[in-house]
Amino acid sequence: MPPRPPTSVIDVLHRGFVTACLGVFLLGGVMAVSTHNNTMRKGQEAYEAHLRKQREQAAETGSGVEDRLANAAQDVVAARSQDIAKRL
């Protein structure tokens, strides 16, 4: 195999530049994936917090409705018993 000719300064600089560009490209890809994963995780956390808040509000609203219905039923029973007492 014949010896290779010596590389010039321009060739070394070109190889260094191309290698640096490849490194920046790969680093950009890694950063893009990292940012995407972080964004998706924060979105999922926000969605879960929103659902948790809705469930809490529904539970509070549900118990309020139950209390109002119970009070209304007791009022009806009390009124009915008063009507019956008046008839006797």
pTM of the model: 0.53
pLDDT of 71 higher than 70: yes
Residue 82 or 51, more confident? 51
Q: Where are the chain's structural domains?
A: 12-87
**DSSP letter for each residue of the chain:** -PPPPPPPHHHHHHHHHHHHHHHHHHHHHHHHHHHHHHHHHHHHHHHHHHHHHHHHHHHHHHHHHHHHHHHHHHHHHHHHHHHHHHH-
The string of pLDDT tens digits covering residues 1-40 is 788 888 899 999 999 999 999 999 999 999 999 999 999 9
Residue 46 is predicted with a pLDDT of 96
Higher pLDDT, 44 or 63: 44
